[in-house]
Structure 1
Amino acid sequence: MEKSTKLPLLELAFNDSDWDEFLFVVSDYTNTDHWFEPTTETILVTAYSVIILLGILTNVVFITVIVKTKKVLKTRNLLFMNLAVSDLVMCGFCIPFTVVKLTRKSWSLGEALCRLIPMLQAVDVFIFSFTIIAISCDRYSAIVHATENLKRVSSMMPALIVIWISSFGLAVPIAIFSTVVKAEYLGNVVSYQICMEHWPSAMSRALYTLVSTLIQFAVPLAIMIPLHTKICRFLKSRMEYKSQSPVDAERMAKKEARYRSTMKLLTAVVLAFLLSWVPLSVVNIMADFNYMIFTHMNFNALYVTCHMIAMASVFVNPLLYGWFNTNFQRQLRGILFSGSKELSEKDGLLNTSAFKGSSVNKIKSGITN
Structure 2
Amino acid sequence: DTKPNCSLGGKAETQSSSSRSLSSTSNRATLGRGGHTVAAVCLGVIFVAGFVCNVAVLLVFARFQSLWTPINLILLNIVVSDVLVCVFGTPFSFAASVYGRWLIGTHGCRWYGFANSLFGIVSLVSFAILSFERYCTILCYSKADISDYRKAWLSIACCWLYSLFWTLPPLFGWSSYGPEGPGTTCSVQWHQHSPGNVSYVICLFIFCLLLPLLLMVFCYSKILIAIRGVSINQTTAQRRETHVMLMVVSMVACYLLCWMPYGIVALIAMFGRAGLIGPTASIIPSILAKSSTVLNPIIYVLFNNQFYRCFMTLIRCGSDPQDHHSLHTLQSSPAAAAAAHQPEDPQEVNATPPGSPGLSDHCDGESAAPQGGNVEKDKQSLVLVVHYSP
Cα 1:223–1:142, aligned 2, differ >3 Å: closer, same or farther? same
Deviates most, 276-285 or 319-328: 319-328
Map 1:272-287 → 2, pairs under 5 A? 272-287=254-269
Q: How far did 1:95 drift?
A: 1.9
Q: How far did 1:103 drift?
A: 6.8
Give CA-to-partner distance per residue, 1:291-347, whole Å, 9 cap, x none. Answer: 4252xx7x1122112221221111001112212234333222211213242476696
Note if 1:225 corresponds to 2:238.
no
Q: How far did 1:272 drift?
A: 0.8
Give the letter for the 1:234 counterpart: A
Contact between 2:128 and 2:212, CA under 8 Å: does it hold in 1? yes
Give the letter for the 2:118 counterpart: V
Contact between 2:113 and 2:187, CA under 8 Å: does it hold in 1? no
Equivalent residue number for residue 166 of structure 1: 162
Which structure has more RCO (C-alpha within 8 Å, separation ≥ 6)?
A: 1
Q: Choose from 279, 288, 304 the match for 2:283.
A: 304
Cα 1:330–1:305, aligned 2, differ >3 Å: closer, same or farther? same
Cα 1:214–1:198, aligned 2, differ >3 Å: closer, same or farther? closer
Task: Tell me the distance in 1 between the aligned counterparts of 2:56 and 2:18.
Answer: 48
Equivalent residue number for residue 148 of structure 1: 144
Contact between 2:259 and 2:288, CA under 8 Å: does it hold in 1? yes
Map 1:28-43 → 2, pairs under 5 A? 35-43=30-38
Give CA-to-partner distance per residue, 1:157-189, whole Å, 9 cap, x none. Answer: 1011011111011111233343679xxxxxxxx
Structure with bigger gyration radius = 1
Note if 1:203 corresponds to 2:195.
yes
TM-score by length of 1: 0.72
Q: How far did 1:221 drift?
A: 3.3
Note if 1:341 corresponds to 2:339.
no
Task: Tell me the distance in 2 between the aligned counterparts of 1:106 and 1:304.
Answer: 13
Contact between 2:126 and 2:159, CA under 8 Å: does it hold in 1? yes
Give CA-to-partner distance per residue, 1:97-151, whole Å, 9 cap, x none. Answer: 2345667676552443222211122223322321122111111122222512326
Task: Tell me the distance in 2 between the aligned counterparts of 1:226 and 1:364.
Answer: 22
Q: What secondary structure does 2:274 align onto?
A: helix
Cα 1:213–1:5, aligned 2, differ >3 Å: closer, same or farther? closer
Equivalent residue number for residue 239 of structure 1: 231
Map 1:1-369 → 2, pairs under 5 A? 2-4=15-17, 35-99=30-94, 107-144=102-139, 145=141, 147-150=143-146, 153-176=149-172, 177-178=175-176, 202-239=194-231, 261=243, 264-294=246-276, 299-342=278-321, 349-350=351-352, 352=358, 353=360, 365=381, 367-369=383-385
Equivalent residue number for residue 341 of structure 2: none
Cα 1:222–1:195, aligned 2, differ >3 Å: closer, same or farther? closer
More helix by proportion, 1 or 2? 1
Cα 1:356–1:216, aligned 2, differ >3 Å: closer, same or farther? farther
Q: How far did 1:367 drift?
A: 4.6
Structure 1: 5+ residue stretches without partners: 8-24, 182-191, 241-248
Task: Tell me the distance in 1 between the aligned counterparts of 2:177 and 2:215.
Answer: 35
Q: What secondary structure does 1:150 align onto?
A: coil
Task: Tell me the distance in 2 between the aligned counterparts of 1:269 and 1:150.
Answer: 25
Task: Tell me the distance in 1 between the aligned counterparts of 2:19 and 2:306.
Answer: 62
Q: How far did 1:268 drift?
A: 1.2
Task: Tell me the distance in 2 between the aligned counterparts of 1:5 and 1:226.
Answer: 41
Task: Tell me the distance in 2 between the aligned counterparts of 1:217 and 1:180.
Answer: 20
Task: Tell me the distance in 2 between the aligned counterparts of 1:272 and 1:150.
Answer: 29
Deviates most, 123-132 or 164-173: 123-132
Contact between 1:59 and 1:87, CA under 8 Å: does it hold in 2? yes
TM-score by length of 2: 0.69
Contact between 2:122 and 2:160, CA under 8 Å: does it hold in 1? yes
Equivalent residue number for residue 189 of structure 1: none
Task: Tell me the distance in 1 between the aligned counterparts of 2:161 and 2:352.
Answer: 29
Structure 2: 5+ residue stretches without partners: 1-13, 325-346, 361-367, 386-390
Give CA-to-partner distance per residue, 1:248-293, whole Å, 9 cap, x none. Answer: x89xx68x96687456424412211111221222111111223425
Cα 1:67–1:203, aligned 2, differ >3 Å: closer, same or farther? same
Contact between 1:63 and 1:84, CA under 8 Å: does it hold in 2? yes
Contact between 1:102 and 1:304, CA under 8 Å: does it hold in 2? no
Number of paired residues?
A: 324
Contact between 1:115 and 1:174, CA under 8 Å: does it hold in 2? no
Q: What secondary structure does 1:284 align onto?
A: helix
Contact between 2:82 and 2:123, CA under 8 Å: does it hold in 1? no
Task: Tell me the distance in 2 between the aligned counterparts of 1:218 and 1:270.
Answer: 12
Give the letter for the 1:210 counterpart: I
Task: Tell me the distance in 2 between the aligned counterparts of 1:109 and 1:156.
Answer: 37
Task: Tell me the distance in 1 between the aligned counterparts of 2:61 and 2:18.
Answer: 52
